[in-house]
């Protein structure tokens, strides 16, 4: 889950060279044009998109609510989106507002709605009662550059008023205070992210000095790896990921301590065998290596079993649909990064929790071991290593139980929140144009539009 939420690369060309402006914060159209024109020394190109566009698709079959994005002409070429059929947008298709009714479909929508018809290019589809000509279909696996948000179609930014008349982008297009666009950029070869950041903020300071005199200074622009969670919620996701990893780590420690305790008990059974090997000339280091090999083999077998369970579980988790109107989903899969992490963790735990039993089992009194006496591993103390291991297991289990209790209590408190009262407070705090969107059919998408389209609403 951490890999899917925070670490995985997007399925585009050279994803390491793509950056996102300010991690999900929005920008005005004039600022977007300024960054694109004035930061060319560090950035190959800058692309703008609006992340959430609802639409009703008609034509073949029953009408269906789908979700897409507005994107400029540079989006597909700059990002390096792989295409199953056709192409992305041409520069001329994004110049004149309301002129070019063209659309790019996602692979999933193409397969589900049109049966994978390879003759779809050049045909018309109906979006919000208007005919759009299909010019391309993206490759499988690409759902946009906002992780977690499943985008099913793209139309040019110049068609914003036609596909989403409530947004009234024609009024916001020349207003530097209307923050409604999210920006992506590709670094020039040889330019580091720090150098690009310095160039971008130089442009920002120039814009603030020329167009925002007397206004409160805005925060500096930041550049983060593109493909982050929608809305720039990496901070919350990172906190949740850390919490999950801590819980998983505690469970792993309990299991490893339990195995270490069992290995100590096994050493008692094998004391005569080990004593014989030591007496005929085997070195202690050689026996320790053998015991560590057995411990690592045991941990690797457990890791392999866990890997198989994870592969099956991720498919079930990935197919779960959240009860929200917008298509939200994550591709949880076990890739090479997960394989290497699992293998490294298995080796580390095998050595760490197998070393103490190996050292204890090879430190024998040979005479007692050959006689198979019960005190071969040394005198049993009242508070020995085994009792300490049991104490550690109990302590870790109590920590997990208390954490689970607190989580359930928080979940119970969250379920009792008056959502209608929260919606009214949100409505009162929005700008009038954003608040009007909340009165329509889909509340969730209206909140999302208000949050991305107006920085004041985001606050």
- For 75-108, what is each residue's pLDDT tens digit? 999 999 999 999 999 999 998 888 899 999 999 9
Distances (CA, A) of 71 to 78, 94, 210, 213, 244: 12, 9, 28, 31, 35
**Mean pLDDT comparison of 47-61, 183-197, 319-333, 430-444, highest-scoring range:** 183-197
> Which tens digit of pLDDT belongs to each residue from 415-432?
776 665 555 554 454 444
Instruction: Give the whole-angstrom CA distance, residue 288 versus residue 271.
Output: 13
Distances (CA, A) of 245 to 100, 316, 397: 49, 20, 16
Strand (E) or helix (H) holding 75:
helix 75-79
Six-digit token string for 279: 């007496």
**Mean pLDDT comparison of 116-120, 360-364, 380-384, highest-scoring range:** 116-120
pLDDT for 154: 96
More confident residue, 433 or 36: 36
Lowest-confidence pick of 99-108, 229-238, 282-291, 337-346: 229-238
Distances (CA, A) of 458 to 79, 246, 364: 26, 31, 68
Distances (CA, A) of 393 to 255, 260, 324: 8, 11, 40
pLDDT for 364: 66
In this predicted structure, the answer to whether residue 188 has a pLDDT above a threshold of 70 is yes
Instruction: Give the whole-angstrom CA distance, residue 167 versus residue 170.
Output: 9
Instruction: Give the whole-angstrom CA distance, residue 324 versus residue 146.
Output: 17
Distances (CA, A) of 336 to 181, 245, 262, 274, 442: 35, 19, 32, 39, 39
Nearby residues of 123 by Cβ (< 8 Å), 6 or more positions away: 133, 134
In this predicted structure, the answer to whether residue 445 has a pLDDT above a threshold of 50 is no
Confidence band for 23, pLDDT divided at 50, 70 and 90: low
Contact indicator for 454, 184 with CB cutoff of 8 Å: no
Averaged pLDDT, 245-260: 86
Averaged pLDDT, 412-417: 74
**Which pTM was predicted?**
0.72
- The residue whose two tokens read 């923050």 is 179
Six-digit token string for 455: 């920085």
Question: Helix (H, G, I), strand (E, B), or coil: what is residue 51?
Answer: strand
pLDDT for 367: 61
Contact indicator for 32, 48 with CB cutoff of 8 Å: yes
- The residue whose two tokens read 């119970």 is 412
């Amino acid at each position: 889950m951490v890999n899917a939420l925070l670490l995985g690369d997007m399925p585009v060309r050279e994803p390491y060279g793509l950056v996102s402006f300010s991690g999900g914060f929005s920008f005005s159209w004039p600022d977007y044009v300024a960054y694109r024109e004035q930061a060319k020394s560090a950035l190959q190109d800058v692309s703008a998109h609006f992340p959430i566009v609802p639409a009703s698709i008609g034509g073949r079959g029953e009408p269906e609510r789908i979700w897409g994005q507005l994107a400029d002409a540079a989006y597909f070429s700059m990002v390096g989106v792989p295409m199953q059929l056709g192409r992305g947008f041409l520069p001329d298709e994004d110049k004149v507002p309301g002129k070019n009714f063209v659309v790019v479909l996602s692979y999933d929508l193409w397969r589900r709605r049109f049966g994978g018809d390879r003759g779809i290019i050049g045909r018309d589809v109906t979006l919000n009662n208007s005919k759009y000509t299909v010019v391309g279909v993206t490759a499988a696996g690409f759902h946009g550059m906002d992780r977690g948000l499943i985008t099913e179609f793209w139309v040019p930014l110049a068609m914003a008023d036609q596909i989403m008349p409530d947004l009234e982008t024609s009024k916001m297009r020349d207003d530097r205070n209307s923050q409604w666009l999210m920006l992506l950029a590709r670094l020039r070869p040889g330019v580091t992210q720090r150098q690009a950041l310095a160039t971008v903020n130089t442009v920002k300071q120039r814009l603030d000095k020329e167009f925002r005199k007397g206004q409160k200074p805005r925060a500096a622009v930041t550049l983060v790896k593109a493909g982050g969670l929608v809305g720039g919620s990496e901070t919350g996701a990172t906190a949740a990921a850390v919490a999950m990893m801590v819980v998983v780590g505690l469970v792993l420690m309990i299991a490893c301590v339990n195995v270490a305790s069992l290995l100590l008990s096994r050493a008692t059974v094998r004391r005569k065998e080990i004593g014989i090997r030591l007496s005929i000339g085997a070195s202690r280091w050689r026996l320790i290596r053998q015991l560590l090999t057995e411990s690592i083999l045991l941990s690797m077998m457990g890791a392999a079993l866990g890997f198989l369970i994870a592969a099956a579980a991720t498919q079930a988790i990935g197919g779960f649909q959240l009860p929200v109107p917008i298509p939200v989903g994550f591709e949880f899969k076990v890739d090479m990064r997960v394989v290497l992490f699992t293998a490294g963790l298995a080796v580390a735990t095998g050595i760490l929790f197998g070393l103490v039993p190996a050292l204890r089992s090879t430190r024998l009194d040979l005479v007692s071991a050959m006689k198979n006496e019960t005190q071969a591993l040394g005198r049993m103390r009242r508070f020995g290593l085994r009792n300490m291991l049991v104490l550690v297991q109990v302590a870790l289990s109590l920590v997990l139980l208390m954490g689970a209790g607190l989580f359930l209590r928080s979940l119970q408190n969250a379920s009792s929140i008056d959502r209608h009262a929260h919606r009214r407070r949100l409505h009162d705090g929005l700008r009038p144009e954003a608040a009007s969107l909340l009165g329509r059919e889909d509340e969730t998408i209206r909140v999302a539009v208000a949050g991305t389209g107006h920085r004041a609403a985001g606050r």
